C-alpha cells in the first residue's frame, strides 16, 4: 500500500459520506484503488458513521475502528495513524475532501519522486525560501500569524516517522492531549528529521479541499483558548521535550510576542457588548497564562499596555469589525465575509453554555 489517508472523525456522518464518495469516485476513475487506503477512527456517539463505512467497504480499501467513548481529537489522531499500512500517511479532516487533480498528482509524486515529506504549501501562506527551510520558516512572524502548521493536511510523510515519533515520545504524548494540536509536534518531528522534502507549491485550499458540511464558529474565548493559549503551549512543550530545537523556539517565542498586539486586537473586535462580561474574563485568563512565560520589561509592557487599552473598559471595539465587514461586503463585493457578531447572538438565543461550549449551531 502506497498511501493512507487518515481521517479522525466525530458526529459528522453527512460529511464522512460525501468524503468517502469523493475518494471512491477518484480512485476508481484513475485506477488507484490498490495504491490508496482510507483509515478512519470514529469518535461518534451514534452508529451512523459505522453504517456509512460498511456501505463503502466494497468500493474502497478501508481500515476502520469505532471508539467505545469519545477519546478526544488528539488521541483519535494518534489512533487513526496507527491503523495505517501505507508507506505514506496524511491526516485529513472528515470535513474536507481532495479534488481529483490534487490527489492524482500527489500519488504520482509519491510513486516517482519518493520523498520523505510533501509540504502542502497554500497560496495564502508565506512561501519557504527552500525545501530545507520549511520548519524554520513556519515560525516567521507572518507564518505564525497564519498558523501555517495547524491545518491537518499540511504534511504528507513516510509512516516510519510516525512510528518512531510514537515510540520515542509515547509516555509524553499526554502533554498534548486536550490541546487539539497533537499533530503539531508530530509535524515538527517529521520536518526536523526529513532528508528530502518536496513543496507542493501554491496549493489552493478553496479549490482542492472542499468543506463537506456547514461549519460552526467559535466564540472569542474559545478562539483565545485554542489558537492563542493552546497553540503557544503546544510549541513550548515541543521544545521542552526536545522535539523542537531551542533556537527555533526562541524565534517562535519572539515573533509570537511581536504579534501579540495584533492577536489581542483581532480577538477584541469580535466581542460585542452583550458578550463582554462573559467572554473577557475567560479570554484574559488565557492571555495571562501566556504572559507569565515572558519576563522582560519589553514583554511586560506589550501585554500590560494592550490589555489595558483593549480589555479593561467596555468600549465598543466591535464597531471596527462592523466597519470592516461593510467595506468587504459593500465596497469589495465579498459575500463570503462571516458575520461573527450575528452568529454569537444566535448562539445565546440557543442557550449557549460558556462552560461546555454547547449551543453552537451550524452557521455557514
Question: Does the pLDDT at position 215 exceed 70?
Answer: no
Question: Does the pLDDT at position 235 exceed 80?
Answer: yes
Find the range with the poorest average confidence among 127-141, 335-349, 350-364: 350-364
Question: Does the pLDDT at position 354 exceed 90?
Answer: no
Q: How confident is the model at residue 212 (pLDDT cuts 50, 70, 90)?
A: very low
As a whole number of angstroms, the distance between CA 107 and CA 113 comes to 10
Is the C-alpha dihedral spanning 170, 175, 181, 187 positive or negative? negative
Q: What is the pLDDT of residues 86-106, one digit of tens each?
A: 999 999 998 887 888 889 999
What does the pLDDT average to over 287-305?
Answer: 96
Find the range with the poorest average confidence among 53-62, 88-97, 155-164, 339-348: 339-348
HEC states along the chain? CCEEEEEEECCCHHHHHHHHHHHHHHHHHCCCCCCEEEEEEECCCCCHHHHHHHHHCCCCCEEEEECCCCCHHHHHHHHHHHHCCCCEEEECCCCCCECHHHHHHHHHHHHHCCCCEEEEEECCCCCCCCHHHHHHHCCCHHHHHHCCCCCHHHEEEEHHHHHHHHHHHHHHHHHCCCCCCCHHHHHHHHHHHCCCEEEEEEECHHHHECCCCCCCCCCHHHHHHHHHHHHHHHHHHHHHCCCCCHHHHHHHHHHHHHHHHHHHHHHHHCCCHHHHHHHHHHHHHHHHHHHCCCCCHHHHHHHHHHHHHHHCCCCCCHHHHHHHHHHHHHHCCCCCCCCHHHHHHHHHHCCCCCCCCCCCCCCC
2 close to 35: Cβ distance less than 8 angstroms: yes
pLDDT at 216: 63
Higher-scoring residue by pLDDT: 96, 41: 41
Q: How confident is the model at residue 203 (pLDDT cuts 50, 70, 90)?
A: low
As a whole number of angstroms, the distance between CA 73 and CA 8 comes to 7
pLDDT at 213: 47
What does the pLDDT average to over 17-23?
Answer: 93
Q: What are phi and psi of 184, to 5 degrees?
A: -65, -55
95 close to 215: Cβ distance less than 8 angstroms: yes
Domains belonging to the chain, first-starting first, are 3-208 (3.90.550.10), 223-349 (no CATH)
As a whole number of angstroms, the distance between CA 256 and CA 233 comes to 12
Question: Does the pLDDT at position 199 exceed 70?
Answer: yes
What does the pLDDT average to over 169-181?
Answer: 94
What does the pLDDT average to over 185-197?
Answer: 97
203 close to 120: Cβ distance less than 8 angstroms: yes
What is the reported pTM? Answer: 0.93
On average, the pLDDT of the chain sits at: 90
Amino acid at each position: 500500500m502506497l498511501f493512507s489517508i487518515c481521517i479522525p472523525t466525530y458526529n459528522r456522518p453527512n460529511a464522512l459520506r460525501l468524503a468517502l464518495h469523493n475518494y471512491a469516485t477518484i480512485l476508481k476513475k484513475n485506477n488507484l484503488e490498490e495504491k490508496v487506503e482510507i483509515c478512519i477512527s470514529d469518535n461518534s456517539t451514534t452508529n451512523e458513521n459505522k453504517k456509512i463505512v460498511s456501505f463503502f467497504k466494497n468500493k474502497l480499501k478501508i481500515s476502520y475502528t469505532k471508539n467505545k467513548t469519545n477519546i478526544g481529537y488528539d488521541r483519535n489522531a494518534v489512533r487513526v495513524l496507527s491503523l495505517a499500512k501505507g508507506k505514506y500517511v496524511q491526516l485529513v479532516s472528515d470535513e474536507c475532501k481532495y479534488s481529483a487533480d490534487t490527489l492524482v498528482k500527489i500519488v504520482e509524486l509519491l510513486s516517482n519522486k519518493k520523498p520523505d515529506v510533501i509540504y502542502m504549501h497554500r497560496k495564502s501562506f508565506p512561501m519557504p525560501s527552500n525545501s530545507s527551510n520549511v520548519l524554520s520558516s513556519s515560525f516567521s512572524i507572518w507564518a505564525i500569524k497564519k498558523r501555517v502548521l495547524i491545518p491537518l493536511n499540511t504534511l504528507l510523510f513516510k509512516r516510519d516517522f510516525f512510528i518512531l515519533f510514537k515510540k520515542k515520545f509515547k509516555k509524553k504524548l499526554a502533554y498534548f492531549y486536550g490541546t487539539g494540536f497533537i499533530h503539531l509536534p508530530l509535524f515538527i518531528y517529521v520536518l526536523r528529521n526529513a532528508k528530502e522534502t518536496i513543496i507542493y507549491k501554491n496549493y489552493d485550499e478553496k479549490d482542492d479541499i472542499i468543506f463537506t458540511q456547514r461549519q460552526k464558529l467559535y466564540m472569542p474565548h474559545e478562539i483565545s483558548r485554542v489558537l492563542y493559549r493552546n497553540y503557544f503551549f503546544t510549541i513550548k512543550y515541543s521544545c521542552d521535550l526536545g522535539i523542537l530545537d531551542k533556537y527555533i523556539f526562541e524565534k517562535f517565542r519572539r515573533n509570537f510576542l511581536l504579534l501579540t498586539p495584533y492577536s489581542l486586537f483581532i480577538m477584541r473586535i469580535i466581542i460585542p457588548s452583550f458578550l463582554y462580561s462573559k467572554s473577557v474574563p475567560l479570554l484574559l485568563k488565557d492571555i495571562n497564562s501566556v504572559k507569565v512565560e515572558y519576563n522582560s520589561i519589553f514583554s511586560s509592557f506589550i501585554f500590560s499596555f494592550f490589555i489595558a487599552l483593549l480589555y479593561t473598559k467596555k468600549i465598543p471595539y466591535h464597531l471596527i469589525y462592523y466597519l470592516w465587514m461593510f467595506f468587504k461586503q459593500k465596497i469589495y463585493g465579498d459575500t463570503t465575509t462571516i458575520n461573527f457578531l450575528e452568529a454569537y447572538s444566535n448562539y445565546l438565543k440557543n442557550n449557549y453554555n460558556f462552560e461546555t461550549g454547547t449551543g453552537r449551531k451550524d452557521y455557514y
